[in-house]
Structure 1
């Protein structure tokens, strides 16, 4: 998106009318869950390799 092509009033209005931080926080929580699952998988893999 080229923000320079629109007047500042339009860009500012879009920022304030947007979805807020909710979707960003939901994505961060989902990535935390993925990281936890990856950690569990890595632990299991390590225990199999260490035998």
Structure 2
């Protein structure tokens, strides 16, 4: 989407009428969970490989 084509009033109206921070916060929480799982897996793998 090219925001330069539309007037600023339309762009800001769309931003304020959007879904809000909820989806972004949910995605951040999912990434945090994935990072924790990857760290746990890497730690377990390291302990098995290093003996």
Query: TM-score scaled by structure 2?
Result: 0.95
Question: Alignment RMSD, CA only?
Answer: 0.5
* CA deviation string 1:20-47 (max 9, x = no partner): 1000000000000000000110011101
Unpaired runs of 5+ residues, structure 1, are none
1:6 aligns with 2:6: yes
- Count of residue pairs brought into register by the alignment: 51
SS at 2:4 equivalent:
helix
- Give the Cα–Cα distance (whole angstroms) in 1 for the partners of residues 36 and 8 of structure 2: 41
- Give the Cα–Cα distance (whole angstroms) in 2 for the partners of residues 35 and 15 of structure 1: 30
Q: Which has the higher helix share?
A: 1
Matches within 5 A, 1:1-40: 1-40=1-40
